[in-house]
Structure 1
Amino acid sequence: MPNTYTQIHLHSVFAVKHRTAIIAPKWKYDLYSYMTGIIHNYNHRLLAINGMPDHVHILIGMRPNQSLSDLMQQLKQGSSQWINDQRLTGSRFAWQEGYGAFSYGRSQLPAVINYIANQEEHHRTRTFLEEYRRFLDAFEVEYDEQYLFKSLE
């Protein structure tokens, strides 16, 4: 009997609404654990997760049973609700609309995992928007500046 075989590795990046730096070191790993649970509940494989107070990077081994847009909706919606239910921020938490997603081959995974693990180091020398533009440019993704993640407010 035939089966479906895939190897899909996606690196996604998304930001806190208004790029507010409110993901606190005190609870960020609990957030990452919660997000990992959502990813696993949809039978995907989490390869790396990390971020900064205003954004998150996730590398997933994606199963073809769900679209990326559906997974991102569930991930952002579920984690927002968890943060709000836990009352981890002084105001209502939300993710900014949209996300970036970039595909990688198996041989590239160690470098991407290392990149995600070392977010604090990368952001000593470049802002989130500089980082995001680099991804878009490197992957030759056409974009309109007005639709990029909002600048810090």
Structure 2
Amino acid sequence: MSGTFSQIYIQIVFAVKGRQSLINNSWEEELYKYITGIVQNKRQKMLAINGMPDYIHIFIGMKPSCCLSDLVREVKKSSNEFINDKKFCSRTFSWQEGYEAFSYSHSALDNVIAYIMNQKQHHHVKTFKEEYLKMLKKFEIEFKDEYLFEWIEDE
């Protein structure tokens, strides 16, 4: 009997609406665990999750039957509700529309995981905007400025 075998590794990035720094250190670990649960309940493998107060990176091993846009929509919708139900923020929390997704080979796993897990140290040197534009160019993704994240002016 034939089977389906695959190696699909996707890094997903999405930001807090308006790029507000609303993800607090005091509850980010709980948020990451909650999002990990969503990914695992959708039968995907969480490889790494981390971020900054205004965005997160998620790195997953994805099955070919998974629809990436459906998974991201569920993660964002459910985590919005989780954050607001827990009253982690003094105002209503929401993720910004859209997301970025980048695929990697198996040989890049360790480097991508290390990169994601070191986000806070990494951003002492480089802004999110610099990092983001570099990734789009590295992956040769065509884009229009008006469809990019809302940037915080001091970046």
1:17 aligns with 2:17: yes
TM-score by length of 1: 0.98
Identity %: 49
> Are 2:60 and 1:60 equivalent residues in the alignment?
yes
Aligned residues: 153
Q: Which residue of 2 aligns with 1:85?
A: 85
- 1:105-124 correspondence to structure 2 within 5 Å: 105-124=105-124
User: Which runs of no fewer than 5 residues in structure 2 stay unpaired?
Assistant: none
User: Counterpart of 1:26?
Assistant: 26
Q: For the residues of structure 2 that align with 1:139 and 1:129, how far apart are their CA atoms?
A: 16
| CA offsets 1:55-86 (integer angstroms, 9 cap, x no match) | 00011000122211000000000100000000
TM-score scaled to structure 2, two decimals?
0.96
Gaps of 5+ in 1: none
Distance (Å, rounded) in 1 between the aligned partners of 2:64 and 2:40? 14
Structure 1 stretches of 4+ with a deviation exceeding 6 A read: none
Partner of 2:96: 96
Q: What are the Cα deviations for residues 119-149 of structure 1, in whole angstroms up to 9, with x where unaligned?
A: 0111112111111111100000011111100
Report the secondary structure of 1:26's partner residue.
helix
Cα deviation code 1:89-123 (max 9, x no counterpart): 01111000011100000010000000001001111
Query: Which residue pairs with 2:141 in the alignment?
Result: 141
C-alpha distance in 2 between matches for 1:34 and 1:90: 20
CA RMSD of aligned residues (A): 0.9
